[in-house]
């Protein structure tokens, strides 16, 4: 919901940083994999109850994830890079609830499972719409230059980051926050289904 609003504010700094890193030989795929490794390290940190450390790793993951696209645009975006980026992103998003479930299974496992189920809904509706948009030649730059069609929704990248940060700042509130986030993800997925039906039904 907020990604398109924030895009004009972050595009300039990201573009400049991407060009600088590309000039130094840093590759987009290398940043994607670095972000993924850093993000996965948040799982044992969360499981151990090191929530401040996990927060730092989550934020570093998101910074590196923003930079990989900027470097790709400064050099040569590839289909493989786009594929690697989206796979690593979804794996990272799923890893954070797992970390909280490991931290306190009795309290966190059920809301973490519900949150993961809702992620499947948002992820599948996002990717399926992108496939159809590609087939019909639809494009959008509302959320910047992307390798695939980025359909908006109630829960996008910005909102997800806000919740991940909130989880770490208020770890005992994870069950409440996870249920809230899961509900918002379900609403977002349902909205995407309705929009996709309106756009492509009968096409």
- Mean pLDDT on 16-26: 91
Tokens representing residue 133 in the block: 């948009």
The residue ranking higher by pLDDT, 178 or 138, is 178
Domain 3-200 part of CATH 3.10.350.10 = no
pLDDT at 132: 86
Euclidean distance between CA atoms 118 and 181, whole angstroms = 9
DSSP state of 143: T
Averaged confidence pLDDT in the chain = 89
pLDDT, tens digit (0-9, with 9 covering 90-100), for 31-88: 999 999 999 999 999 999 999 999 999 999 999 998 998 999 898 889 899 899 999 9
Euclidean distance between CA atoms 16 and 71, whole angstroms = 9
Euclidean distance between CA atoms 28 and 170, whole angstroms = 33
Return the bridge partners of 144, or none. Answer: 142
pLDDT at 158: 86
Nearest alpha-carbon partner for 76 in 10, 18, 4, 131: 18
pLDDT tier for residue 143 given thresholds of 50, 70 and 90: very low
Taking only Cα atoms into account, the Rg of the chain, rounded to an integer number of angstroms, comes to 17
The residue ranking higher by pLDDT, 52 or 18, is 52
Euclidean distance between CA atoms 70 and 73, whole angstroms = 5
Of 48-57, 75-84, 105-114, 152-161, least confident by mean pLDDT is 152-161
Euclidean distance between CA atoms 145 and 69, whole angstroms = 9
Euclidean distance between CA atoms 70 and 178, whole angstroms = 31
- Mean pLDDT on 167-172: 98
Q: Is the pLDDT of residue 13 over 80?
A: yes
Q: Is the pLDDT of residue 144 over 60?
A: no
The single residue listed with the structure tokens 């039904």 is 201
Q: Where are the domains of the chain?
A: 3-200
- Mean pLDDT on 127-143: 75
pTM: 0.87
Q: Is the pLDDT of residue 148 over 60?
A: no
Tokens representing residue 134 in the block: 């590609």
Tokens representing residue 78 in the block: 């590839």
The backbone region for 150, taken as left when phi is positive above 0, alpha when psi lies in -120 to 50, beta otherwise, is beta
3-state secondary structure of 24: coil
Write phi, then psi, for 49 (nearest 5 degrees): 85, 15
Contact residues for 44 (Cβ-Cβ < 8 A; gap 6+)? 99
CA dihedral 53, 58, 64, 67 (to 10 degrees): -130
- Mean pLDDT on 148-173: 85
């Amino acid at each position: 919901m907020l990604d398109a609003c924030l895009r004009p504010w972050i595009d300039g700094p990201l573009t400049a940083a991407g060009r600088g890193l590309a000039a130094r030989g840093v590759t987009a795929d290398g940043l994607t994999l670095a972000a993924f490794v850093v993000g996965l390290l948040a799982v044992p940190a969360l499981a151990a109850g090191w929530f401040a450390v996990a927060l730092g790793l989550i934020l570093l993951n998101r910074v590196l994830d923003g930079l990989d696209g900027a470097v790709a645009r400064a050099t040569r975006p590839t289909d493989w890079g786009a594929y690697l980026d989206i796979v690593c992103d979804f794996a990272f998003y799923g890893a954070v609830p797992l970390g909280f479930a490991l931290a306190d299974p009795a309290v966190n496992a059920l809301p973490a499972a519900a949150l993961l189920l809702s992620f499947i809904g948002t992820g599948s509706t996002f990717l399926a719409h992108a496939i159809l948009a590609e087939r019909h030649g639809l494009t959008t730059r509302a959320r910047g230059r992307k390798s695939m069609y980025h359909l908006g929704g109630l829960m996008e990248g910005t909102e997800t980051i806000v919740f991940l940060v909130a989880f770490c700042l208020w770890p005992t509130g994870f069950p409440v926050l996870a249920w809230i986030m899961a509900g918002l993800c379900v609403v977002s997925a349902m909205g995407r289904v309705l929009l996709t039906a309106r756009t492509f039904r009968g096409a």
